Every structure is written in structure tokens, then in C-alpha cells.
Amino acid sequence: MTLPKRAIAARFLPDRYRYWYSLSKLAMDPLYDAVPGAFRNQSEPVLDLGCGIGLLLHCLRASGRQLPYIGVDTDAVKIEAARAASAVGCHDDAKFQVCDLSVQFPEHRGSVALLDVLQYLPRQAQGTLLSQAAECVSKEGQLVIRTGLADGTWRSAMTRVTDRFGHWVGWMKTSFKAQPSAQELRAGLRRHGLQAEFQPLWGRTPFNNWLVVARRA
């Protein structure tokens, strides 16, 4: 199904910056079409780690996925914007909380989304967050990750440069720390009984972005 991109972006008005940011993300990044597809036939509640302004919620609901949703992010301003847009979209059952994942982790059982967040954490904290996320995944749930991968390709280098640039120009408060490798991710998830499938998710972008869906083996 085609996402109602303009209608979703309009929920962030009168903030024109967030309107254009959302519209361009929804139009150019294949993430928001792909992730609702990954939640097809799922009914477990979703914990969205590093949810930003909560675009995933709008895409899930527009795709007919009425899963219980809670989004957490360390950026209180984004959480406020996420709450306001969620109310405009009449997603009154969705919850958003401010939470610094390097300090605390919300209690949860079901599915987890971790989209474009790992790279902002130091390597050791990435491992801790992955373990915490994996432990939440129920028998019927899944862990859906979108991340750049360190694999020595030009796409990998391009992704690192752009993440650093995003921090430098102020798009991201947190700075780029490290890219995981596919081997590290796979092994870390296997330690928690999860089997991961990887698929490229760069669409027409120059980035080395991958979608990883991990389920109980």
C-alpha cells in the first residue's frame, strides 16, 4: 500500500521544518515502506527504541497495523513533537516517553524496532542495547533493526560521513560513534536465541543501510 506521505507530514504542522523533514524522509527513504511490511501478520506490542518524532507509528497505522506502540527517545523536543503529531493523527493509544537508552531501558515484552540508532552509541553500548532489545522479544515477536553496516564498501564510508555531517549541521544532537558489522550483529543476536535475516535497504540512496529481522529460532 502507498503511504499517505503528505497527510502524515501535515500532522507536524505548523512546524514547517518538521513537515518538510517528514515529507522528504517518507518520500526518499525506503525504510518507512519496508518496516510496516516486516510487521505484517504481527500482533505483539512494539517498542520503538530511538523513535525520534515517531514516523514509524504513522506508517504502521497507515498500513493497517494496529499494534500497541510505545516510542522512546532521549530527545525531549522530538518526543513532544511525536506526541502532538500522534494526537493529530488520532493515535491516542500510542505512548511516547523520554528515555536515554544508555542509562535506562524500558520494561517490555513483544516486538522491538531499532531504526537508525545503533550508530549513535559507542561499540560497547551497542552490544548492551542489542542484548536488552533481544531479551524483550517474545516467542511471536521480532526485533527489526535498520542500520548501516561496516563492510569496507564505499556505501559504508558514505554512511559514516553523512552521519557525521548530520551531527555537524545540527540534524542530530548525538554524534556518530560506530557501525556494527553483520558478523557482530548476527553473533550478538544468536547469543539471545534470535536468528537474523539481512536484506539491503538502501533504495536509491548511496547509503549502506540494511534491514535486519530477528526472530526466536
Ligand X SMILES: C[S@@+](CC[C@H](N)C(=O)[O-])C[C@H]1O[C@@H](n2cnc3c(N)ncnc32)[C@H](O)[C@@H]1O
For ligand X, the binding residues (CB under 6 A) are 50-52, 55, 73-75, 78, 99-102, 115-117, 120, 174
Distance CA 115, CA 163 (A): 14
Cβ proximity to ligand X: between 42 and 119 the closer is: 119
Cβ proximity to ligand X: between 74 and 131 the closer is: 74
**H-helix or E-strand containing 146?**
strand 143-148
Nearest distance from residue 124's CB to ligand X, in Å? Answer: 13
Nearest distance from residue 216's CB to ligand X, in Å? Answer: 23
Residue that has been written with the C-alpha cell 504481527 in this structure:
42
- DSSP SS3 for 137: strand
Omega prior to 14 cis, within 30 of 0: yes
Cβ proximity to ligand X: between 123 and 183 the closer is: 123
Cβ proximity to ligand X: between 54 and 139 the closer is: 54
User: In a 10 Å sphere around its CB, with 0-12 CB exposed, 13-18 middle and 19+ buried, how is residue 112 labelled?
Assistant: buried
Nearest distance from residue 186's CB to ligand X, in Å? Answer: 21
Nearest distance from residue 2's CB to ligand X, in Å? Answer: 19
